[in-house]
Amino acid sequence: MKSIYRILLVAFAVLSLTACEKFFTREPINSFSAETYFANENQIKMYTDGMINSWMPSMDDIGYGGYSVYNDLIATRTSTTFYQPGLFNPTRQGSWSWTFARRCNIMIQRMEKNAKGNVDDETYNHYMGIARFWRAYHHFSRIKTFSNIPYIDVVVDSKDSTILFGSRLDREEAFHHCVEDFDFAQQNCLGTAKYNTPGRVYINKWVILTYLSRIYLYEGTFRKYHSVNPATNTPWTNKYETADELIRKAAQCAEEVIKSGEFSLHKDYAELFLSENLCNDEVIWGRTYSEALGSLHNLTRYFNSSTLGQQYSGTKELVRQYLKTDGTPVLTGEQTINEEFKDRDARLSATVLGPGHKIAKLTGDTSPQVINMTWNCTGYQLVKWCVPDETHQQNAVDANSLPILRYAEVLLNYAEAKTLLGEMNKGIWDQTIGALRTRAGVKNIYPGDAGYVKDQWLHDYYTASDLAHVSEVSDIELEIRRERVTEMTLEQGLRTDDLYRWSIADLIEKRHNHEGWAGIWVTEAEAKNGFTFEGTKYEFTNSGSVGETKIPITTNSDRNWTLEKAGAGYYLIYNFKLEWLERNYVRPIPQDDLNLNKNLGQNYGWDS
């Protein structure tokens, strides 16, 4: 019962974003009976608004994906213990919480008891679909983490030892229960203007279909590229949905969003992440921030601080993935930072600081934005999500709203699913990848057509994995993987999800052939005399000290900053050792929970 009170209290924040004046004129609800609640639409909506406020992704979830920012393309000054040799074990694992299931099941149970006959069928099924979507959504997050899990679809009584001390379901069976809930939500939730408001705050048909295109693609490709269930190290049974069937469902969900005509690509890519108003032509679900409402965040500060975050920095491997405007790849990494932004995909300069950026200074004037090496490790300073104002670098005053789900991802999911099903053609390519590249000012060239240039570096990068079960990747698949990087970098940890599902997560520990992250390329003359960027002189120093324009060269332990060759080459940083083992595709069952319930069993490889 306490969870109902809690969810009703936090619902006020959501309502303030969508109907402030109307909401605050309502009579306050001081008390209610949990047994008779959910009897009308207002009560049901209040509860689901609380769910949104509790479960909508947070600023850090959206902007860098929590631990998922630790991937192969973003440099950090340290790493998560999960990737450090010998540090992670079941006693360190958390997140075995099932409070979400109880909240969802309370809503489902009470609606079945109190709402039937009191609200019309369409409204009843819409909100029932939302409850079942959230239930499956959260169970899926546990499947991604632990693989085999229980699926809790009843309100558990404290005396119900069968559930409390039961065993886990096989991953395929648990996900099948997710599919049952997802199917109901997909078929019954509405996408009309009542639920698809300009604030893009509500869960509706379009949000659900977009998420399902992501979730089904993840699970389908995970099973395609992994020959076994990592929880047990046994082959998939295909007793329920097969990998291809899930990939088909991903394509169908994406196609329904595309054919609806409800969304399109916003013309200005950079504006998607800097506007106070959500760009509703493309944003399907988003988190609204507003200076007027006093709802602010600090993503800019997080990416522009030497202490607050992890000194997140782009890498040469990230920058090389962006095409030239003529639709061909960059054939060498040996380009200086002043050279490599010329005639490139516009998304590069919207993600990494290049020439031409302006920033508002603390003094009130505007000047070219320059690299600050006190919080940048590689020379590639990240600007996506960052308001170009020095005040925002020092304070939590960001009012730019944050998209959670975008139409661009729908196109990417559709393109990949259709390719894996063997159904990609030039028409689908033009509708998806081609459209994204056209927006970015890149010439659209279908792989295999005249003018297409195969990117051998990209091919070698994605087939260098020691653990991948499927090593050969077609040119179309490679280009889709490129596009996922250039379009979705720094959004919700999607890059790490991609590496996991493609079974190439060992790329996280390789980092430029185990030499550390690779930053900018430096000529011999630049190494000796420094270089100029946007009128500011940068110099390399052997003192090991870091300054705004001082780039250290040192060989101190595993925190070294070096040039790849004597006096020139890639700027390499942080070659601390990381480790990836096959067991890492799932996390261990927390030891505390295993001590309470031995029937849970430990995941394969984590019991020693």
Q: What pLDDT score was predicted for residue 552?
A: 84
Backbone angles phi and psi of 564, in degrees to 5: -55, -45
Could you give the CA distance from residue 433 to residue 480 in angstroms, rounded to a whole number? 7
Residue with tokens 């600081």: 353
Could you give the CA distance from residue 553 to residue 209 in angstroms, rounded to a whole number? 50
Q: What pLDDT score was predicted for residue 13?
A: 38
Protein fold of 2-55+96-262: 1.25.40
**pLDDT-above-90 percentage for the chain:** 76
Sorting pLDDT into bands at 50, 70 and 90, what band is 570? confident
Q: What pLDDT score was predicted for residue 31?
A: 42
For residue 569, what are the β-bridge partners? 522
Quick count: other Cβ atoms within 10 Å of Cβ 85? Answer: 12
In this prediction, residues 397-422 reach a mean pLDDT of 97
Tens digit of each residue's pLDDT (9 = 90 or more) over 126-167: 999 999 999 999 999 999 999 999 999 998 887 777 778 889
Q: What pLDDT score was predicted for residue 464?
A: 77
Is a pLDDT exceeding 50 seen at residue 339?
A: yes
Could you give the CA distance from residue 71 to residue 52 in angstroms, rounded to a whole number? 28
Q: Where are the beta strands (DSSP E) in 109-185?
A: none
User: Which residue, 505, 107, 490, is CA-closest to 273?
Assistant: 490
CA R_g for the chain: 25
Q: What pLDDT score was predicted for residue 88?
A: 92
Is a pLDDT exceeding 70 seen at residue 26?
A: no
| CA 134 vs CA 117, 163, 248, 413: distances in Å | 24, 20, 22, 21
Sheet with 531-533: strands ordered across? 531-533, 536-541, 550-552
Is a pLDDT exceeding 80 seen at residue 555?
A: no
Cβ 542 vs Cβ 355: under 8 Å: no
Question: How far from chain centre, in Å, is Cα 2?
Answer: 31
Rounded to 5°, angle at Cα 440 from 435 and 443: 70
User: Which residue, 130, 121, 102, is CA-closest to 44?
Assistant: 130
Could you give the CA distance from residue 375 to residue 502 in angstroms, rounded to a whole number? 32
Q: Which helix (H) or strand (E) holds 538?
A: strand 536-541
Could you give the CA distance from residue 68 to residue 550 in angstroms, rounded to a whole number? 30
Cβ 195 vs Cβ 204: under 8 Å: yes
Is a pLDDT exceeding 80 seen at residue 567?
A: no
Average per-residue pLDDT in the chain?
90
Threshold 0.95, pTM exceeds: no
Backbone angles phi and psi of 466, in degrees to 5: -80, -20
Rounded to 5°, angle at Cα 58 from 56 and 63: 125
Positive or negative: CA dihedral 202, 205, 208, 213: negative
Cβ 17 vs Cβ 293: under 8 Å: yes
Q: Enumerate the domain spans of the chain.
A: 2-55+96-262
Tokens found for residue 359:
């920033």
User: Which residue, 293, 115, 108, 285, is CA-closest to 213?
Assistant: 285
Lowest mean pLDDT among 21-35, 137-151, 535-549: 21-35
Tens digit of each residue's pLDDT (9 = 90 or more) over 167-225: 999 999 999 999 999 999 999 999 999 999 999 999 999 999 999 999 999 999 999 99
The DSSP secondary structure of 435-470, one letter per residue, reads: HHHHHTT-----TTSTT----HHHHHHHT--SS-S-
Tens digit of each residue's pLDDT (9 = 90 or more) over 78-107: 888 999 999 999 999 987 889 999 999 999
